[in-house]
Structure 1
Amino acid sequence: MADPGKLAMLGGARAVARQDVTKELTGWPVVTEREHAALRGVLDGGLFTSNDAGRGEVSKLQTEWARYVGTRHCAAVSNGTAALELALAALDLEPGSEVLVPALTFVGSAVPVLQRGLKPVFVDIDPRTYTLDPVAAEKAVTDRTRAVIAVHLHGLPCDMTAIAALAEAHGLFVIEDAAQAQGATYQGRRTASLGHINAVSLNVVKNLPTCGEGGLVTTDDETLYERVVLHRQFGEDLTPGRDRDYLSRVLAGNEKLSAVQAAFTRCQLERLDADSAARDRVVRGFLGRLDALPGVVVPVCPEDRTHAWHILRLRFDPAAAGHPELSAGAFRAVVQRALRAEGVPVQPYQVVPLPGQQALRDVGADIEDFPVSLAVIDESVTLQRWHLNPACGPVLDRCATAFEKVWDQLDTLAPVIASARHRPPWQAAMNAGAAR
């Protein structure tokens, strides 16, 4: 029988056994009979698209989401990336205009900028919140800057007060990328209501999911809303109550959401607040145990906002852990291996800043200009998906036990870390991209 006190990577028993991780505890999204009935209702009702004259599931979702976040308008679209692209289209920025984008985020925050013929200007992140650094953003503004994309990375709202002040000072549009922050609040207001125009993803892994792909665009500006709707389906005016004329008024594609996706999300929206509250309780309990371990830097949540906890990023400080002689990157790499051996599925989230992505290198930025992003990537791991299920508490308890087990034996791991030949994650990623 394996020794439960011995590290699993050295032959001991896993702290998180496979049988401990059940679908009931960690599966996401949680699908109930409510979702099954809603989808059957779409199939029986026959209203399958957003062209539903205000009577179908898409129109109902738009109304409910606008009411939930507190905006006047909402347009449902095919996915979160389309939501950002249509938000930019609605702003009608001059080709070549610059848009500020955080250097550490998913590539989907930057691709729509290029799709609209605009230039992303990358900005480093804050080392505590991992969101856009307003001071760095101020330094990045030029006379061609027209907008800033505020990405609520991992579910924590950006410093929207500072971003709004920056926008006001320079005449910029603010676009919220709230793809990971559904249900979070900033100074009492919900995300997806804080910018001039706002985008949300409904991808199946998000806190507010659909059974596939989807997105939502919100705004208080009627003109921006009308432009989004115009660009959603071939530039056609599809005002309810008028016959379709098949006239394309602007060059646009087809970015509609289906009624099936909308019906599923409406069910999830009914439970969003309850799920968020339950998730907050179990995640804070988990992070409380990890925060007691010297050298584990847990996510922060300033008092003026709430956290959706979409992704949990855990950063490591070997000096605080009692090993100042060890490099932070090598420490992270070996601890990551040890935790995964214990059954904790920690992994990187984004292994290279956006300007290092092969598809974005022509933008002309050097990843060395983003030292905070580089350090965060090299020194941290993330926990994803498991904790989204509100019932995940028992599994997170076992994960916390695994962290404590590894920390009890850091002295055993120290020689391994010291002798490791460490390469930062972005080096392998960029070399692999170049080889292709």
Structure 2
Amino acid sequence: MTADKLALFGGTRAIPPRRASRDLVGWPVITDAERKAVLGVLDSGRYTSNSTGNGEVQLLEREWAAYVGTAHAAGIANGTAALEIALAAAGVEPGSEVLVPALSFIATAVAPVHRLVVPRFVDIDPDTFTMDPAAARAAVGPRTRAIIAVHLHGLPCDMAGLRAVADDHGLLLIEDAAQAHAAHYRGRRTGSLGDIAAFSLNVVKNLPTCGEGGLLNTDDEQTHRRILRLRQFGEDLEGRRERDYISRELAGNAKLSAMQAAFTRCQLARLDEYHAARDRNVRAMLTRLDALPGLRTPACPPDRTHAWHILRFRFDPAAMGIDGAHPGAVRAVLQRALRAEGVPVSPYQLAPLPMQRALRTREGFGGYPWLLADDRRQEEAADYPHTVAVLEDSLTLQRLHLNPNAGPVLRDWAGAFEKVWEHRDAVATAARSMVYTPAWHGPDWTSAEVPG
């Protein structure tokens, strides 16, 4: 029996508006444990990471290091600051280059710039959406000092391939694991796979706090000691009962608060339970969607596990039976059709990172750090064909599937996808009539002017 016509064209919505209730899709899940922990910090009067011994920040650091499998962990104000401090603690100097994937959140590129380090962009693997080791090897230059391996959407990178590139060229291998808490690669957890790893604890992450936060993991004692100095004005607090207010190197303030740490410790106690439930829910949904022609669900190679922080779906117009339409137009119509049925799909990043206006105009630092490296290149989207293709033909589901109780909603979403696929002819007609221009062709994204 053919489903009712699409809600986009006046049909009945597949999912009732109130179906996605907070108890099913709310994130983070807050229990009495979090409330008690936060009130406990308020009552204790110990609010900062300056507390010695068994303060909440120190307890989280020890628990997280043990969970990940590294010798050390340090609480940081947020994930972007964690990436900045990772570069500084490892000695990556101004004017040098780091390799950054062309598909990531802007923070992956901005963190090096804040250290006056030049981001050098690298195309991705079209199946995993993470940095392609072959493209990374080709991008290494005389000033390259590090690789930032982003475990995008919660899937670990090909760390063996990237480690080979790093070792062959004497490069630092940094994990940007902001979206990959609890994922594994060849039996080891993310955060233990590189020389240093940065995590975010933003409220939308798989391991959240009640706002902003971050963590840095490393096995190197000297790197860890420097991280602790860099997060607090260059001061050395280890073994001291009181601050001496002596700054031993130039550094800012990037501490994690005790309240944030207490909240995250409660979340950490349930991380594996939630991760397992999310894995079951997502895989059940993907099994149904795999049957739809032209829909490519997220891949997970057999040597790793997926944290499922974001679900990215690619659309193949030809396999869907749609010809004569730009992939971006098909994606745009599918977004409207699915949202009308009650599936909250959206893009994740509208353009390759090097097409971001800030990175094209290089405003904000007077042309630095590129002037330090005498780098006046103007990179183009065509330099990153896999990144462009993925952005043009995909949509994502974010956050609402993280709740361990979201299984029924994911089943509803699968049904809505199936309904839209039954009406691919209507999607095709709308897509063929659309005049489509990629987002990064507009004035808000690009500029031909490069300072210097």
Q: TM-score if structure 1 supplies the norm length?
A: 0.97
Alpha-carbon separation, structure 1, partners of 2:332 and 2:92: 43
Asked whether the equivalents of residues 80 and 199 of structure 1 are also in contact (C-alpha less than 8 Å), the reply is yes
Q: Does 1:162 align with 2:161?
A: yes
Contact 2:8 2:337 (C-alpha < 8 Å) held by counterparts:
yes
Residue 68 (structure 1) aligned with residue 64 (structure 2): no
SS where residue 234 of structure 2 aligns?
coil
Corresponding residue number in structure 2 for 1:414: 428
Structure 1, residues 333-362: CA drift from partner, whole Å, max 9, x if none? 111111111111110000011111111114
Q: Residue 426 of structure 1: CA displacement? A: 2.2
Q: Distance in 1 between matches of 2:15 and 2:55?
A: 45
1:425 aligns with 2:424: no
Distance in 2 separating the partners of 1:375 and 1:69: 34
What aligned pairs does 1:102-117 form with structure 2 within 5 A after superposition? 102-117=101-116
Q: Are 1:4 and 1:13, in contact at CA under 8 Å, matched by a contact in 2?
A: no
Partner deviation per Cα, 1:357-394 (whole Å, 9 max, x = no partner):
11111463222211111111111000011100010111
Superposed CA RMSD: 1.4
How much does 1:240 deviate? 3.2
Judge which range, 62-71 or 325-334, deviates more. Answer: 325-334
| Alpha-carbon distance in 2 for matches of 1:365, 1:419 | 32
In structure 1, what is the Cα distance between the partners aligned to 2:199 and 2:129? 19
Cα distance between partner residues in 2 of 1:373 and 1:59:
40
Say yes or no: does 1:387 pair with 2:401: yes
Q: Is the Cα contact below 8 Å between 2:440 and 2:446 reproduced in 1?
A: no
Aligned residue in 1 for 2:271: 272
CA contact (8 A) 2:355 2:446 kept: no
The letter for the 2-side match of 1:368 is A
CA distance in 1, matches of 2:321, 2:92: 52
Q: CA deviation at 1:263?
A: 0.3
CA distance in 2, matches of 1:174, 1:136: 15
Alpha-carbon distance in structure 2 between the residues aligned to 1:93 and 1:199: 15
- Map 1:270-419; keep pairs closer than 5 Å: 270-361=269-360, 362=362, 364-419=378-433
Q: Matches of 2:174 and 2:205 in 1, distance apart?
A: 19
How far apart in 2 are the matches of 1:432 and 1:307?
31
Task: Give the Cα separation in 2 of the matches to 1:68 and 1:116.
Answer: 29
Paired position in structure 2 for 1:48: 47
Verify the 8 A CA contact 1:378 1:425 in the aligned structure 2: no
Cα distance per residue 1:157-207 (max 9 Å; x no partner): 000000111111000000000000000000010001111011000000000
SS of aligned partner of 1:286? helix
Paired positions, count: 432
Shift of residue 432, structure 1, vs aligned partner: 5.7
Q: Where does residue 177 of structure 1 map in the other structure?
A: 176
> Aligned residue for 1:95?
94
Structure-2 separation of matches of 1:162 and 1:168: 10
Is the Cα–Cα contact under 8 Å of residues 156 and 309 in structure 1 kept in the other structure? yes
Shift of 1:431: 3.9
Q: Where does residue 30 of structure 1 map in the other structure?
A: 29
Shift of 1:255: 0.4
What TM-score do you get using the length of structure 2 for normalisation? 0.93
Distance in 1 of aligned mates of 2:432 and 2:253:
54
CA deviation after TM superposition for structure 1 residue 241, in Å: 3.3
Q: Secondary structure at the match of 1:76?
A: strand
Gaps of 5+ in 1: none
Letter of the aligned partner of 1:130 in structure 2? F
SS at match of 1:19: coil
Cα-to-partner distance string for 1:125-171 (whole Å, 9 max, x where unaligned): 00000000101000000111110000000000000000111111000
How many angstroms apart in 2 are the aligned matches of 1:348 and 1:426? 13
What is the CA deviation profile of residues 314-337 of structure 1, one whole-angstrom value per residue up to 9, with x for unaligned ones?
Answer: 000011112243332211111111
- Quote the offset at 1:78 in angstroms: 0.3
Structure with more of its chain in helix, by fraction: 1
Q: Note the 1:13-28 alignment, pairs <5 A.
A: 13-28=12-27
Find the aligned partners of 2:271 and 2:54 in 1 and give their Cα distance: 23
User: What residue number does 1:145 align with?
Assistant: 144
The gaps in structure 2 that reach 5 residues or longer are: 363-369, 371-377
Preserved CA contact (<8 Å) 1:103 1:123: yes
Q: Which residue of 1 aligns with 2:128?
A: 129
CA positional deviation for 1:16? 1.6
